[in-house]
């Protein structure tokens, strides 16, 4: 798993650099607020900030025997997470951003992290509400709307 973590981290660093390079060609801010380069720039910076420690810590940390044994389970969990993201993305235009994001977050917390139902619902609803407040209300970004108007 050590080699896979380093390779994944390096790919994410490369992706972050590419996103930053492309975002710098767009307007960061315009007369209405954040421009089209605002989110991609910070997304690319986030990739760099989070992937760099992954690479460094993986290289410096000795590999444990337990990490080798659990690798198939971890790959299954990663595949399930990606599958959940793909389902949420496919449902985005049908259910709207708020509901598809809430269901995806509920899946992550309840199924993947194995937390209690109350905790999962609270995190899912709170996260969706927070995203709505930040993007739709504060930044005025239009999010995909489902048949129920949200």
Query: Residues 65, 77: one domain?
Result: no
CA 81 to chain centre: 11
The 3-state DSSP class for residue 145 equals strand
How far from 139 is each of 4, 22, 108, CA to CA, in Å? Answer: 37, 22, 26
pLDDT score at 65: 53
Query: Residues 81, 38: one domain?
Result: no
Query: Residues 150, 76: one domain?
Result: yes
Q: Which residues in the chain land under pLDDT 50?
A: none
The 3-state DSSP class for residue 139 equals coil
With tokens 């900030």, the residue in question is 49
Query: Residues 65, 76: one domain?
Result: no
For residue 113, what are the domain limits?
A: 72-150
Query: Residues 3, 29: one domain?
Result: yes
Task: Look at residues 15, 48, 69 and tell me which one is the last residue of a structural domain.
Answer: 69
Task: Look at residues 54, 69, 84 and tell me which one is the last residue of a structural domain.
Answer: 69
Contact present, 87 and 105 (Cβ < 8 Å): no
| Domain count within the chain | 2
Dihedral angle at the C-alpha atoms of 36, 39, 42, 44, nearest 10 degrees?
-80
| 96 DSSP β-pair partners | 145
CA 33 to chain centre: 24
Query: Residues 94, 49: one domain?
Result: no
pLDDT score at 30: 85
pLDDT score at 107: 96
Q: What is the pLDDT of residues 59-102, one digit of tens each?
A: 888 766 555 555 777 788 888 999 999 999 999 989 999 999 99
pLDDT score at 58: 87
pLDDT score at 62: 74
Task: Look at residues 33, 50, 69 and tell me which one is the last residue of a structural domain.
Answer: 69
| 29 DSSP β-pair partners | 34
């Amino acid at each position: 798993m050590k080699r896979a973590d380093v390779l994944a981290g390096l790919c994410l660093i490369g992706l972050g650099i590419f996103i930053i390079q492309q975002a710098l060609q767009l307007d960061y801010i315009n007369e209405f607020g954040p421009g089209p380069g605002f989110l991609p720039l910070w997304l690319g910076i986030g990739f760099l900030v989070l992937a760099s420690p992954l690479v460094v810590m993986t290289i410096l940390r000795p590999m444990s025997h337990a990490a080798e044994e659990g690798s198939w389970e971890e790959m299954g969990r990663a595949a399930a997470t990606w599958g959940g993201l793909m389902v949420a993305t496919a449902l985005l235009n049908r259910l709207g951003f708020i509901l598809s994001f809430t269901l995806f977050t509920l899946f992550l917390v309840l199924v993947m992290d194995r937390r209690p139902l109350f905790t999962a619902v609270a995190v899912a609803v709170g996260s969706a509400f927070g995203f709505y407040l930040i993007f739709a209300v504060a930044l005025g970004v239009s999010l995909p709307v489902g048949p129920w108007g949200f």
